[in-house]
Amino acid sequence: MRIDLAASYGEERLPRYTSYPTAPHFSPTIGADTYAKWLAELPAGTSASLYLHVPFCREMCWYCGCHTQIVRRDDLVAAYQRTLRSEIARVADTIGRRIKVEHIHFGGGTPTIMSPEAFSELMAAMREAFFVLPSAEIAVEIDPRTLTAGMVEAMRLSGVNRTSLGVQSFDPVVQRAINRVQSFEQTAEVVGMLRSAGIRGVNFDLIYGLPHQTVVSCLDTVQRALMLAPDRFSVFGYAHVPAFKKHQRMIDEAVLPDGLARHDQACAIADALKQAGYVQIGLDHFARTDDSMAVAFAERTLRRNFQGYTTDQSEVLLGFGASAIGHLPQGYVQNDVQIGSYAENIAAGRLATAKGYRLSDDDRLRADIIERIMCEFGVDLGEICARHGAKPGAMLGSAWRLEPLISDGVVSLDGERLAIATDSRFLVRSVAAAFDAHLDPGKQLHSRAV
């Protein structure tokens, strides 16, 4: 790992490229009527993945960058669940047939804030509206501090087979600084509950770059987490954007690690996980060698979507809930971020699309290039350009940001094959950004590159 490169490129603000173009480029010119048309145009035999956003938590974690709000009243959550069920039925009716579903992901917020009965009803509504394949992956994001035995049983009966647990850090000093106090014992108890219920797929989310965090505290968190033997780790750098997420102002910027310290923390975590036998997957995931994600990485079938790296091969992602984003062959759509406006639209019998983006042929070409870079640390420009009827030379000519990366040894170019140096893979977002025709470096919309 090259410290000089971390210093040169680490402070740049870049997308994580879970889509291309990225969400800041979505426009209100794409609304409910467009989404309805796109849904009706889906060809026969289409399979889809479903994402359900539950934007509620019991308390705010100050590092959070998600669309969520704090609720104490369960009736608000119940009302939102009913709205989700109505939206599911509305979308299915607009498609006009019961399409196959291969992946379902509940994100948040805290999806398990719903009652067990409400969760079961929601899963039943999805199975009624869509043909959920018996082999479908059904994943739920969990806050271990609030999970109940009743919800574990509801998930088991509903076919949930993968869970993602927010851990972030086991350091009590860091936990107090981010307003998320969660003991190792709480986390271990939840892992035990899930596995006893037969829910074998367990992922842990860790974060580096948090206030008061050090390499030592990061490694201590990793060693504790390894005792619980999760199948996968997601390791994210904290994105401090208080201008957009006002609750982040509760974090003292003076105790945030700088770019080089973040780089050291990321490298230490990655090295520890690899030494423990996990395969590094792209930018920020790690998986056991026999895990389906590690297999997809080895076979070069790994994909990237709004949930990060995925084994999901579907070209259609249907998003449900306030702020949820969907992806169809024609482009992207996003629901209204405001829960009230979202619910009003659904109650009125409309789709809740507030903005979106219609893909051009150039967008599709660049999206494929960026996805391969993010997933494989390299790309065969000749192969992808040929598939899109484009010329690799023209694409390279437009990627002026590549020149310094090549000069600095981050990237090598062998004919039409681009590869990122092994010691420079932490700069994969910088390489992907070289093919981003929409990127405006002057706007601080994204997290730091390292």
**Residue numbers belonging to the annotated binding site:** 51, 57, 61, 63-65, 108-110, 141, 168, 180, 205, 239, 325
Contacts with 40 (C-beta within 8 Å, 6 or more apart), sequence order: 94, 95, 96
Binding-site residues for S-adenosyl-L-methionine, in ranges, read 51, 63-65, 108-110, 141, 168, 180, 205, 239, 325
Contacts with 366 (C-beta within 8 Å, 6 or more apart), sequence order: 20, 435, 436, 437
Question: Residue 293 corresponds to which tokens in the numbers above?
Answer: 């994600």
Binding-site residues for [4Fe-4S] cluster, in ranges, read 57, 61, 64
Query: Exposed/middle/buried for 192, CB within 10 Å: 0-12, 13-18, 19+?
Result: exposed
Beta strand 353-358 pairing with 100-108: unpaired
Total residues belonging to the chain? 450
Question: For residues 203 and 234, is the Cβ–Cβ distance under 8 A?
Answer: yes
